[in-house]
Every structure is written in C-alpha cells, then in structure tokens.
Amino acid sequence: MTSTIPSTRVPKKRGFTLKDLVLIVVLGVVFGFLYWALVQAWLALSVAMGPAGDLAQHFLSGTWLLVAPIAIAIIRRPLTGVIAEVLASVVEVVFLGSAVGPILFVAAALQGVGSEIPFALTRYRRFGWAAYALSGTLGSGIVFFYSAFRFGWYGQDLFFTRLAIQLLSGLVFGGLLAKVIVDALAKTGVVDNFAIGRDLAERN
C-alpha cells in the first residue's frame, strides 16, 4: 500500500545555528553604529527645525527599526528581531555612549517585538511588501506609546501629529526600506547560506 504524502514542504524546526548568532551580532554592531550616527542626525535636525525641533525624532524614528526586519528576513527564526535590536542598543549605549542612555534597551526590545509580530503571524514564511510595511508600522507604533508615557505626550495638541509622523516613518524606513535592503542583499548572494537563501532556492 502506497502512503500519501503531502507535496507541501514543512520547514524543519530548529534553533539558531552558530552562523545565525554570528550574523545577528554583526548586524547588531553595524546598526548600533548606524543608530548612534542617526541620533546625532536627530539632534542636528531638531536644531535646524527650530520651534518644531521636538518633532525631529518622529521623522527619523523608522530608521531605528531597520535591523529587526533585516535580521528576521535573513535568519527567519523567532526572537531574531528582538535580539538584533537590543544588541544594537547595547552597542549604542555601552560602547558609543548614546545620549539616550540605558532606557534605550527597553525601547529597543519594544521595537523588536513590534517589528517581529507580522512575520511571526505567518510563521516566518511571508516576506512581501505588506509584511514589511506592517512590521515598520507596528514597531514604530508600539514604541511611540511607550515614549508618549515617558515624555508626557498624552493630552498634547500635537499628539496625533506626532503619532502620524512616527507611523509613516516606521512604514517607509523601518518597513519598505528594509525590504529594499534585504532584496539587494539577496541578489548579491551573500546571504545564500542562511534561511533566506534556502527558501529562495526552493522557490526557483
């Protein structure tokens, strides 16, 4: 008697490999330096914007989400985005002396969680434009409400303006830009030995 086996391939369940962990650390370090540079850009932009300078952080907020979706798309394992964001924040604070301080660890973890949710809901199998857009939007949104509590934005006239700018920044920079970067990396072949490379090979 011949058994019937579904043709749909079920991905193997496994944890991080050593090369996955090494890549997460490398991405954390690289983006830690980038995030620190973006903090300097934020401070400069806030001065350039004059009376509206307090809104500068919202315009740039999406850029601080980049490492999570990029790491998730390459490695495709739970908690990848959270770990990458927290590592980047450690580099910023401990090694580069970010002006934001240790509270950044909490914000980074929240950003990582928000960025990871859309991919986790598809069991790390869907990486289209919509998933990235939602990732950036949720990452920005979750950390926004945390920051609003810290800085007393609730009840301000500019509350919804702040929220709209931050969500748009997250969508564009933390979502769509991340997709562009991941696609560009995939085309070079440098990530072929990771989960993203195996998935792409199986589809071709």
- Which tokens in the block code for residue 161? 């303006």
Q: Quickly list H helices, 49-190.
A: 56-60, 67-75, 80-90, 104-121, 129-151, 159-169, 177-188
**Per-residue model confidence as pLDDT tens for the chain (204 residues):** 444 433 334 345 568 999 999 999 999 999 999 999 998 899 899 999 999 999 999 999 999 999 999 999 999 999 999 999 999 999 999 988 877 788 899 999 999 999 999 999 999 999 999 999 999 999 999 999 999 999 999 999 999 999 999 999 999 999 999 999 999 999 999 999 999 998 888 876
Contact, 112 vs 88, CB < 8 A?
A: no
pTM: 0.90
Q: No. of H helices and E strands in the chain?
A: 9, 0
Domain boundaries, the chain: 18-203
Cα–Cα distance for residue pair 7/93, rounded to 1 Å: 49
Q: What is the DSSP letter of 78?
A: T
Class of residue 110 by CB neighbours under 10 A (exposed 0-12, middle 13-18, buried 19+): buried
Class of residue 64 by CB neighbours under 10 A (exposed 0-12, middle 13-18, buried 19+): buried
Cα–Cα distance for residue pair 200/1, rounded to 1 Å: 35
